[in-house]
Structure 1
Amino acid sequence: MTIDIGRFSEAPSSDVEETGADSGQEQKPPELVYGSAEEFLHEQLLPTYVRDVDGRAAKWCLEWYFHPEAVSRVEALWRAWEHLRLDGATGISVWFKDHADHHMSVLLDPRGPFYKCDMQKHRDPEHMEPQKAPNGWFPDVRVR
């Protein structure tokens, strides 16, 4: 039986121009495999990162896109995957160890971003409403 582990095993596509450092031409970045974080979630992440989501040991919200933290973490997972898939040696290991295992543990944690949701119903997360610090405590350090 062969298990499809996604597109990590593919070599970079041949439409990436190989140019020498002396040629003065810029190398075109590799094309993305997925056009969005949502496509990545449905086509790559969830089919390969399979867990028993029972609501007690792991939670997920079917309307995950209403959770800003989840959107940000899925976006981070997608971008890291697109970069690391090009490393045919250790890319898949690095992606799982440093990215998927970390972010998915947070996302699936029963006390994580989906803590109020259950498998049948989305419930809006409660957002922290911090007060603004007094003027001058955190000056804008951007150069103007």
Structure 2
Amino acid sequence: MLTLTQDLHDRIVAHARADHPDEACGVVAGPAGSGRPERFVPMLNAARSPTFYEFDSGDLLKLYREMDDRDEEPVIIYHSHTATEAYPSRTDISYANEPGAHYVLVSTADTDGSGPFQFRSFRIVDGEVTEEEVEIVAAYGNVTTQ
């Protein structure tokens, strides 16, 4: 199960809506080994495409160096789908190379930027896709979900 704060959820959705009709992408880093997403890092979709996303290799290298310096790891790797449901495509699956990460997809396919959206999380390990529950909390340590 992915547990994240309402603030992080809202920031991911806002990024997806802001970049529509192109796919948005980014990472939420967290302390290594904690599994807790904390630091929101929106990235530029170097492909600038409505059907594909690609992290800029220089930006990605910089991010991984930052995470290494801060003893962090990618807890969430997210992107949006602008014309299809929030489910990993074959390309998404082939590019999934962080077995410990939660792969979050936001679909803005049925929205003009203000309407409903899909927000789903998956584990992708060795080409196998498993959907997982998403729990949104006000803050970590709280028992109450929203």
Tell me the TM-score normalised to structure 1 length. 0.25
Bigger helix fraction: 1
**So what's the TM-score if we normalise by structure 2?**
0.24
More strand by share: 2
